[in-house]
Amino acid sequence: MNRTDRLMGIIAHLQLKKYRTTEQLATHFGISVRTVFRDLRAMQEIGVPIGFEPGQGYFIAGGYFLPPVSLTLEEANALALAEPLVLRFADKEIAGHVGTALAKIKMVLGASQREKLEQIQSKTAHYVPEIYEHLLPVNNYLTIIQNAIVNRTILKLTYENPQGEASSREVEPIGLTFYSLNWHLIAWCHLRRDYRDFRTSRIQNLQTTIKPFLKTDHIELNEYLQQIELKAKQEFL
């Protein structure tokens, strides 16, 4: 990645996240912290409104937007590859959002790039033999779960365990993760008083509420997943 692309990438990254530390930026872009400082200073010199909050990190002041940028061939390839995966493993609402997002991206591309992206799309598809269709998960609640995660509101659900037993739960969702060909809701369960992993295809009914989280000190999703991985390794040994 050349420096111009990296600077644009840092700006886009800061716009996606409220705060980012120099260490986080260095890790994400595979550069040194010293280089990050030089890049941030260069962006400030050309007028990008970068601020710093002690204890939090760097941010870009609200109201600043990058002008439309063109996609590299590799970025177009990545989008074309991701689209069929989303269509296969996400719910219909999310699949629709992906379609409209790609349409908006095409609007800012030049004619040549748009043609290349559409060509790649036409030659990229998902395929599952009919005899394996029954193994694919049915996901109907991903958007509802995402909204509850962002709004920090409690969800009510009816969940069927692997033994076929159904139970009603109130949960505080902290994240979604995908593994073993299924989406999984990670949430604090009021019934069990602990974090639980709910496979979304086993959720029989899901209702939103306006009740805010009761627990104020939830762990981050990645921290939970790291704990699960460590536990699995210990059990294996």
> Which amino acid, one-letter code, is at 224?
Y
DSSP 215: -
Domain boundaries, the chain: 3-60, 73-122, 142-236
Do β-strands 153-160 and 166-179 pair in parallel, antiparallel, or remain unpaired?
Answer: antiparallel
- 3-60 shares its CATH topology with 142-236: no
- Each residue's pLDDT, cut to its tens digit, for the chain (237 residues) gives 678 778 888 887 887 777 889 999 999 888 999 999 999 998 888 888 888 988 889 988 776 665 555 667 677 778 777 887 777 777 777 877 777 777 777 766 777 777 877 887 787 777 777 777 766 666 778 889 999 999 999 999 999 998 989 999 999 999 999 888 788 999 999 999 999 999 998 999 999 999 999 999 999 999 999 988 888 787 766
CATH of the domain spanning 142-236, picked from 3.30.420.40, 2.30.30.520, 1.10.1040.50, 2.40.30.10: 2.30.30.520
Assess if CATH 1.10.10.10 describes domain 3-60.
yes
Residue 58 belongs to what H/E stretch? strand 57-60
CA distances (Å), origin 69, targets 29, 95, 101, 154, 201: 19, 24, 15, 39, 38
For the entire predicted model, the pTM comes to 0.63
Phi, psi angle pair for 90, to nearest 5°:
-110, 170
Q: What is the pLDDT of residue 122?
A: 82
